[in-house]
Structure formats: structure tokens, C-alpha cells
Structure 1
Amino acid sequence: MQLTAPATPRTDTRSPGRDADGMAVASFILGLLGLLVLNLFLGPIAIALAGVSLWRGTARRGRAYLGLALGIADLAILAVAMEVSHTLSWSL
């Protein structure tokens, strides 16, 4: 009589490529959203997610590069808007 279940090999359904693809998409979405609101926070997050997804070898390299470019654009727009308004924040 056996009291425990037989040992079965563990299969992990999540692959590292799938996680990297999700990070590339999240980077793109956050970079795009950061052009409108909270660019001080969303820009660096988009840059970091794009860098990690590229480092992990995403299949969505174009989306990761767009997220990287949009994250940098978020910070550039913030810098220009702060310079024009002569404050530490910006408003329309």
C-alpha cells in the first residue's frame, strides 16, 4: 500500500520568453501612457522593463525598443515642460 502520490516530473508552463514578451508589451503601454500622465514615474519604469525584456531575449524586440524610446521621450518631455514653466512640475 502506498500512502503518497507517485513522483511526477514537474513541468513549468511559463517560459522565460513569455515573461520577456509581457515585459516588452508593458514597457510600450507604460511609455505611451507616460506621455500623458505621470511621466516622471512611468518613463523610468518603461525604460527598465524594456531593458530587462531585451536582456532576456524577447521575441517582441520592436515593442521593447518602442517602449524604450517612449520612456526616454517621457523624460525629455518632462524636462522641456519644466524648463518652459520654470517649476518642478508641468501642466497644460
Structure 2
Amino acid sequence: MQLTTAAPQRRNAVRRDADGMAVASFVLGLVGLLVFNIFLGPIAIVLASVALHRNTTRRGRAYLGLGLGIADLLVLAAFMSADNTMSWSLGG
């Protein structure tokens, strides 16, 4: 009988992918606070959720990405309600 090491290797690959998703969600959420928050916010939320579902070892970073993604959408909503448009700008 031959023992295979495919299962542990697959598990490590899934965990490594989940760790990458956690870091990506954090970075996208952070950048989304400044630019393209209507796109980067939801992407950060989805990546963080998938990373948490796949049991990432970087849970803190995934939670930060989730929070920043939600903050992106809140910032967008606040700026949109301030000038009643579908976009926001820092200039007057």
C-alpha cells in the first residue's frame, strides 16, 4: 500500500492561497479608502470572507481587510450624500 502526500500538500496550498487573500484584502481595503472605493471595497470584503472561510493563519489581517472594505463603502456613502452625486472629490 502506497501512502500519498497529496492531501497535506493540497491543504498547504489552500492555506497559502487563503493567507494571500487575507493580505490582498487588507491592501485593497487600505488603498480603497483613497481611490476606487466602489470597486476595491467589495473586493476586499469578498477576499477577506473567503480567506476566513478557508481558515487562514492571518485571521487578523483578514478581519482588518473586512473592516477596511466596509469602511470603503461607508466613506463612499458619506461623500456621496454630502454632494448628492454618484462620485466624490476632494476639490471644491
What TM-score do the two structures reach when normalised by structure 1? 0.85
* Deviation, structure 1 residue 86: 1.1
Q: Please name the residue that 2:42 is paired with.
A: 44
Q: Please name the residue that 2:23 is paired with.
A: 25
Unaligned runs of 5+ residues in structure 2 are: none
Matched position secondary structure for 1:15 = helix
CA RMSD of aligned residues (A): 1.5
**Does residue 1:71 correspond to 2:32, yes or no?**
no
**Does residue 1:55 correspond to 2:45, yes or no?**
no
Q: How many equivalent residue pairs?
A: 84
Larger Rg: 1
Q: Please name the residue that 1:91 is paired with.
A: 89
Fraction of identical pairs, as percent: 65
After superposing on structure 2, the runs of 4+ consecutive aligned residues of structure 1 that deviate more than 4 Å are 9-14
* Deviation, structure 1 residue 85: 1.1
Unaligned runs of 5+ residues in structure 1 are: 1-8
Letter in 2 for 1:31: G
